[in-house]
Chain A
């Protein structure tokens, strides 16, 4: 089957029910999306399909019906996305393992809700787990990214 990731079309020979996460990681070597739980509880595997955040551990390869964007495709060290800029400015990461998913969730959330209240942020970002406890900085970074995006 064919799958488009970060602007490149790949031909992959995998089972229809292999989760997109493992196609990305083990077949295509794209390791920004992380394996954390495999059951949509932690959000570390979050990617965008046509701009919308999805849990790649729960999306079967055969059901991917749009262009996939991973953290690698969101921005790069030389051309950061506003959410990544905010994450760096606030030095959010500790171990950093959940942060690819947090950033992808935040980027998608701010697309749909560009002027979120603090409660909106709490609700949206609670779907992603951080075991190091970087939540206070995640809140600050999402607020700051929202401001950046509004100004842009």
Chain B
């Protein structure tokens, strides 16, 4: 601690970090910030002004701790800092930084609080704030939950402003004038007489003074970068093949490896015969690891070929071998003993349904793979004193602690270098590949080992999206939806995912009912109940998590009741919606789509709404029922995000979310047979291809009071909007995904 204090004072970190930590939270126990992780590796003449800005002789580095898996996180985080720091994005380097508690994600825990996103009352805000405290303790440096922008919106601008004002103060001392007379632009402090001092030359002076913490953030009206179209910092490297992803990375002396694990996930390895593989060209070692083997060679292809030549005796799966067993488990989970939560119970559903014309329905959604296009990989070098890990990850702090425990080293000796990711969709919230690579690297100390999964191995060990089932009962009265009772059963994603990190999350799993219980509708008799099914196949967070299944259940069943009432699907949703920003979202898609106009023969339109991660999102889909099957013609999307920080990236992410939601709803499932995932590659798990992609029209609304992320919220309404449109066009109500089990698409 003494050392950190000394260094911190010299490099004026504490004050600025106090601003970052203290102002954001203001809890008396937490006023001391987490130590600035940039201090330990600082060289002579370098200054780390806040945990987010580092300046040395080579230039200015902005630290963007939320990982970039394609969503443009590095660009937006850099822009938030640069806006206040007065630098241009082509003047800075961007680095994800080391794992550190200074970079914990405060916005992520908010979604775990038992309040609706629309509830901004005192109690809800207080509990959300308290939830930050354990999050800070745990140091959860996690990228997820569409939180990068909400989490960084103030923090990163404050970091930029503190750094700017401190540099101005250093310049003022040097020039002997008042800081208020100085201006800043293009990484330079400018005096009234035109004298220019670059940030780089001021850095050593700035490091010697107390940071300026008395700052105020600029009015958004003054912004020059944010909320305007900006060129993503990675767009040129990504269009020229220059960008190195994790799978492309090389380290001197590195060997190539792959793994083969029991395809019955979590099952034992009873034995294996590698005699043929050992003799194959380029094979260097075959290393038994937990649940399988690692094959080390001088080339990835040779490693994969050799792995495929090994004969294995695999143990049984720790879950039902066939799908019937999975569905039966869910079906039997709608019982008192398994009741997890009943966070909404308005009116009196039981009484209201007595004597009513009751509509009953059962819905199902399958397991789904994340299957980002870049197969997972990691490079690990283990020595007696330190471990270096190069990989694309969303959970560097968890990985650091796990690897420290595996190797017996202190966490500080485990160095994680976060690399660019070719997609994730939640896949890189898992770090099994790193642990496996560490096991192999521990057997080859001093040699960097790169493990690359084959696509088949990636599918077999994807940790898919939850399987889930819902049962609805409801009734209409006098042309309106009057009672709505939805019960959902699924295994706990959070328990499965966090269990792999040896971590248990207290309380009910809010994801079991997320996207269902928290919808802003005022139905007179309205109840949602979550049941926690026993663990089945291991599962993980998949883009939009609980809402990915529950958005489909909740909205499609609402659609059934609206039709039973004989009401207009859009008008009835608007009538039922009490939350004004959400109502405006519904009105916007109505206006965009020309709702109510005649579409012509064999056509239909459906609407769906889901609020997830605090974002109200509505989609209208138009389809044609052709002789060859359903054609999706057009999709209209409106979403409420508080502020659209980058209009181009917003448009791209929303369209991508719609494609992701529709492609999986139409075409995808993971099924188990003999305990193994039956889908092994993209030929039987395509998602959407370009020929099926509809025209998509996007509108971002800015009526809400909070800044929200858009990575996930467009996904949940896509499946129900399509199913509702198919019903409108054909009269066929499909209650199970993927839809192509029941209807063809062209």
Contacts and interface: CB of A to CB of B under 8 A. Distances in A.
Interface of A: 14-15, 18-19, 21-22, 25-27, 29, 31-39, 41-42, 44, 70-72, 75-77, 80, 84, 87-88, 91-100, 103, 122-123, 125-126, 128-139
Given A41-B683, A136-B696, A137-B655, 7 more contacts: A31-B248, A36-B682, A37-B682, A84-B239, A97-B245, A97-B374, A132-B70
A95 B240 contact: no
Given A91-B652, A97-B423, A26 B256 contact: yes
Contacts of B422: 34, 95-98
Interface in B498-532: none
Contact of A129 (B237, B248, B682, B696): B682
A139 B690 contact: yes
Interface in B663-706: 663, 681-683, 686-691, 693, 695-696
B454 interface: yes
B372 A95 contact: yes
Contact of A131 (B234, B302, B373): B373
A134 B652 CA distance: 7
Interface of B: 69-72, 231-232, 234-245, 247-248, 250, 256, 281, 299-302, 371-375, 421-425, 452, 454-455, 648-649, 652-653, 655-660, 663, 681-683, 686-691, 693, 695-696
Contact of B250 (A29, A33, A70, A75): A29
Given A31-B248, A42-B682, A77-B240, A138 B690 contact: yes
Contact of B240 (A33, A41, A75, A135): A75
A44 B424 CA distance: 16
Contacts of B421: 95
B242 A131 contact: no
A21 B681 CA distance: 18
A36 B375 contact: yes
Given A26-B300, A41-B682, A95-B423, A80 B240 contact: yes
Given A36-B373, A99-B239, A136-B696, A22 B231 contact: no
16 contacts: A19-B301, A22-B301, A33-B241, A35-B247, A75-B240, A76-B240, A84-B240, A91-B231, A92-B239, A94-B656, A95-B422, A97-B374, A122-B690, A131-B425, A134-B656, A139-B690
A135 B373 contact: no
A76 B239 CA distance: 9
**Interface SS of chain A:** loop
Residue from the set A92, A134, A138 with the largest chain B CB neighbour count within 10 Å: A134
A72 B655 contact: no
Contacts of A31: 241, 244, 248
B695 A131 contact: no
A126 B689 contact: yes
B239 A41 contact: no
Contact of A32 (B241, B691, B693): B241
A34 B281 CA distance: 23
Contacts of B302: 18
A26 B690 contact: no
Residue from the set A21, A36, A92, A133 with the largest chain B CB neighbour count within 10 Å: A133
A77 B276 CA distance: 46
B660 to A, nearest CB: 5
B544 to A, nearest CB: 14
Given A26-B300, A42-B682, A129-B687, A36 B374 contact: yes
A98 B231 contact: no
Nearest first, the 4 A-B pairs at minimum CB distance are A95-B70, A32-B241, A133-B659, A97-B422
Contacts of A134: 652, 655-656
Contacts of B281: 15
Contacts of B659: 133, 135
B240 A93 contact: no
A134 B648 CA distance: 12
B299 A22 contact: yes
B235 A93 contact: yes
A135 B452 CA distance: 27
Nearest to A40: B683
Contact of A39 (B243, B299, B681, B696): B681
Nearest to A142: B690
Nearest to B662: A133
A95 B69 contact: yes
Contact of B239 (A15, A70, A88): A88
Given A91-B648, A134-B656, A135-B659, A25 B300 contact: yes
B70 A94 contact: yes
A72 B422 CA distance: 18
Contacts of B683: 39, 41
B665 to A, nearest CB: 13
A122 B240 contact: no
Given A131-B371, A133-B659, A91 B235 contact: yes
Contact of B687 (A19, A21, A95, A131): A131
Contacts of A100: 241
Contacts of B653: 94
Contacts of A88: 231, 235-236, 239
Residue from the set A72, A95, A103, A139 with the largest chain B CB neighbour count within 10 Å: A95
B704 to A, nearest CB: 24
A10 to B, nearest CB: 15
A70 B70 contact: no
A72 B248 CA distance: 14
A135 B690 contact: yes
Contacts of B71: 94
A136 B693 contact: yes
Contacts of B648: 91
B656 to A, nearest CB: 4
Contacts of A80: 239-240
Contacts of B300: 22, 25-26, 35
Contacts of B656: 94, 132-134
Contact of B652 (A19, A37, A137): A137
B374 A95 contact: yes
A135 B688 contact: yes
Contacts of B425: 131
A96 B242 CA distance: 11
B238 A72 contact: no
A91 B653 CA distance: 12
Nearest to B370: A131
B240 A72 contact: yes
Contacts of B687: 129, 131
Nearest to A124: B690
B689 A96 contact: no
Contact of B373 (A42, A77, A138): A42
A97 B372 contact: yes
A18 B301 CA distance: 7
A136 B655 contact: yes
Contacts of B299: 14, 18, 22, 26-27
Contacts of A93: 70, 232, 234-235, 238-239
B455 A36 contact: yes
A122 B690 CA distance: 6
B482 to A, nearest CB: 38
Nearest to B452: A35
Contacts of B238: 93, 96, 99
Given A38-B455, A135-B688, A136-B695, A95 B373 contact: yes
